[in-house]
Amino acid sequence: MMLVLGLESSCDETAAAIVDDSRRILSHRLATQEEAHRPYGGVVPEIAARAHVEKLIPLVEGALADAKLSLADVDAIAATAGPGLIGGVMVGLVTGKALALATGKPLVAINHLEGHALSPRLADASLEFPYALLLVSGGHCQLLEVRGPGDYRRIATTIDDAVGEAFDKTAKLLGLGFPGGPAVEQAALKGDPFAVPLPRPLLGSPEPHFSFAGLKSAVLRARDAGIHRAEDIAASFTQAVIDCLLDRTARGLRRMEAPRALVVAGGVAANSAIRRALETLAGEQGLRFIAPPGWLCTDNAAMIAWAGIERHRLGWDDPLDFVARARWPL
Ligand code: KG4
Ligand code: ZN
């Protein structure tokens, strides 16, 4: 059996988890910084980095205690090494290096996006490569062909904003609070998805890319018009996002050989309406649909530990001078 300790600190969640190669999550601890960032309506990098410093070691101790293990029992230490807010990434990576150095265990430096990309394989043992992955998070919106660990073919990406960013900005514009995605989802439940006419950027365009900046501006105009309920704007916004994701994903799927499944991951994949719509699309395309549970879609350390297992068992450990990266495309 192989046990990996995972560390995550690339944005505003600090997390530690222990996972084994039979996909058992022995423990996972997470401290969210939502309260610290709420007054600013967004994540403040300096506040985030300081909070990671305070929280990470106690979370590691907690995760070890929950699993009734000590550091000597783990086979490797996996830490997010980017992309993300560089101060936070450095805290997690340096912590991982220090634990590796002190215990003599190997370090596995994880690309946070690969953590999201492989998380569906932690959730579902039957998911094999290659699969079509819609990666929708606060910083990304990409359609990828996942061929194996470290082996990704990018089919499409956003030409402007990430989809999570669009959710966060919409929440801010509508005064729904922070974090934005869950707030928009709650408001949308009480709204009419066809009440407010909003654009569907790039719908029908031959290249499968995504775009959300125009949608965000349209939300601003709809709000300023002063005639719509926030709930109706939230629901109509969500519907526009769904229409774009479905059209673009369907287009991108035509460029893949024979994906085994359509998979969605990343924070926005926690949205139930988006999951349902993608499940329908997968059905129409004759594909299995796989979405990790909501907590595994948003940032967490279990997905980092799992990516560590996928890489460590291939012998892909990393040197202790591995450098943290703010930008790191898959
Ligand atoms: O993957 P993630 O936790 O962090 C990044 O790596 O970016 O994704 C965070 C993003 C945020 O933009 C957040 O608003 C969005 O995911 N999100 C949601 C929901 N939960 C989180 N968007 C829509 N509906 C949700 N329920
Ligand atoms: Zn993420």
Q: Does 3.30.420.40 match the CATH number of domain 129-291? A: yes
Q: Is the CB of 8 under 6 A from ligand 1?
A: no
Closest Cα to atom 14 of ligand 1:
181
Of 58, 72, 77, 99, residue with least CA distance to 18: 77
- The pLDDT, as a whole number, for residue 78 is 99
Q: Is 163 in contact with 141 (CB distance < 8 Å)?
A: yes
Rounded CA separation 237/245 (Å):
12
Q: Compute the radius of gyration of the chain from its Cα atoms.
A: 20
At the second CATH level, the architecture of 3-117+297-312 is 2-Layer Sandwich (3.30)
Q: How far is the CA of 69 from the centre of ligand 1 (A)?
A: 31
The full set of domain ranges for the chain reads 3-117+297-312, 129-291
What angle is formed at CA 294 by the lines to CA 301 and CA 197, rounded to 5 degrees? 130
Of 195, 296, 305, 280, residue with least CA distance to 240: 195
181 has binding-site annotation: yes
pLDDT tens, per residue, the chain with 330 residues: 999 999 999 999 999 999 999 999 999 999 999 899 988 888 999 999 999 999 999 999 999 999 999 999 999 999 999 999 999 999 999 999 999 999 999 999 999 999 999 999 999 999 999 999 999 999 999 999 999 999 999 999 999 999 999 999 999 999 998 889 999 999 999 999 999 999 999 999 999 999 999 999 999 999 999 999 999 999 999 999 999 999 999 999 999 989 999 999 999 999 999 999 999 999 999 999 999 999 999 999 999 999 999 999 999 999 999 999 999 999
DSSP 330: -
Crossing angle of the two packed helices 45-66 and 86-103, in degrees rounded to 10? 30
Q: Is 266 in contact with 117 (CB distance < 8 Å)?
A: no
Of 135, 138, 128, 127, residue with least CA distance to 153: 135
Number of H helices, E strands in the chain: 11, 10
Query: To the nearest whole number, what is the mean pLDDT of the chain?
Result: 97
Rounded CA separation 326/330 (Å):
13
44 has binding-site annotation: no
Dihedral angle of Cα 165, 171, 177, 182, to the nearest 10 degrees:
-70
Q: Is the CB of 119 under 6 A from ligand 1?
A: no
- The pLDDT, as a whole number, for residue 178 is 84
112 has binding-site annotation: yes
Counting ligands in written order, which one lies closest to the CA of residue 136? Answer: 1
Whether pTM > 0.90 for this model: the answer is yes
ipTM of the complex: 0.98
What angle is formed at CA 95 by the lines to CA 10 and CA 99, rounded to 5 degrees? 140
